[in-house]
Structure 1
Amino acid sequence: MVRKYSSEALAILVDELSRLPNIGRVTAQRLAFHILKGPAERAFSLSDAIRAVKEKVRYCSVCWNITESETCGICHDARRKPETICVVEEPRDVITLESTGEYRGLYHVLHGALSPLDNITPDDIRARELVDRMSESVEEVIIATNPNIEGEATALYLSRLIKPLGVRVTRLARGLPMGGDLEYADEVTLARALEGRTEL
């Protein structure tokens, strides 16, 4: 059913909100009316935050995490252990792992996982950039892709690329449920998974 709005601006806002992931038309309409009813300053603040994130945020030239400068704070931090690189699918996974307070190495963000059904190939993820980061100082690569079919395929592919370089390749322990995403795991589960990682 097509809904008619007495305001074209409101209709456009509902359309734009409904394009966000997991936001259907009904939820988009609720959000639009919430924005409409709230103070103008809050709506303008939201608008400014969206504009700022699109204008200022970019990818770290080393690990491909999000940052507002050439390199992210993690890559720039001299206290981090450069001999260990943890590979994740998305920048939000870095935030999730950092919340455990257990990991002190560096990261590499792939920006996806291999998925032949979705036409996502090794050229579509940052696998080559990861291999380019392998040096004498790198001793271990922890593959922390999601425990689903795409994540497992990506882990196996990366392992086959990196192991011949003489670098130890491990996988997070199986404390994480198959088919789940890192961002939904609690800190204790993630900490145990990091501690119990296994050789690939």
Structure 2
Amino acid sequence: MDWFAQIDGYCERTDFTYWSEPLNAITNAAFIIAALIMWRRTAGLPTARVLCAILFSIGVGSYLFHTHATQWAALADVAPIGIFILTYLFLANRDIVGMPWWGALGITALFFPYAYVIVTFLNNIPFLNISSFYWTVPILLIVYATYLRGTVAVGFIIGAAILSLSITLRSLDEILCTQFPIGTHIFWHILNGIMLGWMIEVYRRHMLATRAAER
């Protein structure tokens, strides 16, 4: 693979200069702002702060991709997202569902075959195939919400709703390019910053409630 091969995958990009996607680049501030806000709110919760650090890295990685537009920058973009998904899933299994660490790790590992099945299915459905991998997350959040119920379940449903809107707007980017030349990818960034910050908040509230109940 040529790690310096350039990628043009978004409506806003018209060439391969550094600032060809100014709005796509700048709106990554949503991830950074959400990470910094949640960092302050998660004092005393080291695992939640790990999530904040990963969220910060999502903003940095996505910024690199929307400025450099290369294969290595694409990896810097998607790797932190994958790490966030797996880390949050492990913590949800361990701290919210209440599994032992080894059980939480095993169930988290099942995300890979789960994602393979869902992506394979969605790749055969027009429009949903554009962002097929990302749809695995809101679907999984709904599954967990059905099992968990209560306030955490409501938090997961809210997260799934925000992410579903975000994925839809991401998928419309090139479809609406003629009518909306700046593209809709900027809303993917803004809504995802909100959604990921919210998911950390759901985890934070649960952890604080658990601590209070144990006193």
TM-score normalised to structure 1 length: 0.29
Q: Give the structure with the higher percent strand.
A: 1
**Larger relative contact order (C-alpha < 8 A, sep ≥ 6)?**
2
TM-score, normalised by the number of residues in structure 2: 0.27
